[in-house]
Amino acid sequence: MPAARQPEAEDGARWGRVGDDGTVYVRTADGERAVGQMPDVTPAEALDFFVRRFADLVFEVELLERRIGAGTLGTEESSASLKQVRSTIHDAHAVGDLAGLEARLEALTGVVGQQRERRRRERARRQAAAKTDKERIAAEAETLADGSDWRNGANRLRQLLDEWKALPRLDKADDDALWRRFSTARTTYTRRRKAHFAELNEQRDSARVVKERLAAEAESLAESTEWGATAGRYRELMRQWKAAGPAPKGVDDELWKRFRTAQDSFFGARDRTNAEIDREFAANAETKEALLAEAEALLPVTDLRAAKESFRSIAERWDAAGKVPRERVRDLENRMRAVEQAIRGLEDDQWHRSNPEARARAAATVAQLQTSIADLEARRDRALAAGDEAKATEHAAAAETRRSWLTEAQRALEEFGG
């Protein structure tokens, strides 16, 4: 017998025998069991045939071990394969360690049980995670349904729906309840969004009507030369335009173009006219600059009468000089007003000094304070004579206070020349 066949021959001799009539037996824990009969071949050939059958069974078990160990089979498929192979081995017409193969299958049954438990725990974990995710999705959808983010909300709800579809189903009760929350939120959002845009479209249609009227009026004013009144009307039209809100996009742009073109036409014509006027008024500004130099030379005033007469002459020539460019008006007028106020202030001051009523009031105040001081000093002297130091000190302090008031009152009286 060739060397390569020696192990199979040894296994055959260990686990089986061939009877005189060619019947082949396999040895098991329960005794011998006939597996077949081959009377027309030698005993060695008959035994070798059934040993090869056992080798085929070993190959099946090893393949199943590798597949189950690698986790490529589902637990149900693994159990079915184990059951099928086990039934094949139990009554197999083969010679070899059949009990050993069955023990290996039993060990695989334990592995499959462990895999089933791991997968059960993993499925439970995935179900819990999926429930958490679906609760989050439903809650976010409800928040969106209560909000007014019409630009991004619809896109976000579509993203949430894609996330939902990618998650595994839960048990029917939980999955249905969460889906109802999510679906209701989507429906609520969609209904509110449609109502919003329907209202917005209505508002835009109303704005279109208003802006068409405003654009038409702006165009009718474009050639007006009533610069002040028309400029004011354009400002009012612009206020109404902003208050009207947006019209439909394409229409809004076209109406604004009409409105802006008319407005630019009017203000452009006004600016060109004003520029021409400003050029004509430039000579007037030079005249007023010379008059200002003459007026400012009056300050500081030393002779009020002469200053008033000179300023009156300057003011008459100032008015006769006419208008100046608009950008010069404020500066020139402010400088002229400063000279006028300086002269008027000095005039008011002199009038105040010569006012007999004011002088009389000042003199009366001085006299009253002098009388009060003399009375307090007399009271002080009487208190000292009576030995009342506290009362004398009180009267002396009151007299001293009034002397300070008297100093101020006398200074005011001196301003009247008294």
DSSP annotation string for 106-131: HHHHHHHHHHHHHHHHHHHHHHHHHH
Q: What is the pLDDT of residue 12?
A: 72
Q: What is the pLDDT of residue 355?
A: 63
Q: 38 in helix, strand or coil?
A: coil
pTM above 0.85, yes or no: no
Phi, psi of 285 (to 5 degrees): -65, -40
For 8-46, write each residue's pLDDT tens digit: 455 677 899 999 889 999 998 888 999 999 888 999 999
Q: 98 in helix, strand or coil?
A: helix
Cβ–Cβ under 8 Å, residues 173 and 134? no
**Cα separation, 163 vs 260, whole angstroms:** 49
Cα end-to-end distance, the chain, whole Å: 162
Q: What is the pLDDT of residue 280?
A: 76
**Cα separation, 61 vs 48, whole angstroms:** 20
Q: What is the pLDDT of residue 5?
A: 43
| Cα torsion angle, 318, 321, 323, 327, sign | negative
**Cα separation, 395 vs 373, whole angstroms:** 9
Residues of the chain with pLDDT under 70: 1-11, 352-356, 358, 415-418
Q: What is the pLDDT of residue 163?
A: 92
- Of 336, 243, 251, 253, the closest CA to residue 287 belongs to 336
**Cα separation, 181 vs 135, whole angstroms:** 9
Per 3-state DSSP, what percentage of the chain is helix, strand, and coil (rounded to 5)?
80, 5, 15
Q: What is the pLDDT of residue 117?
A: 83
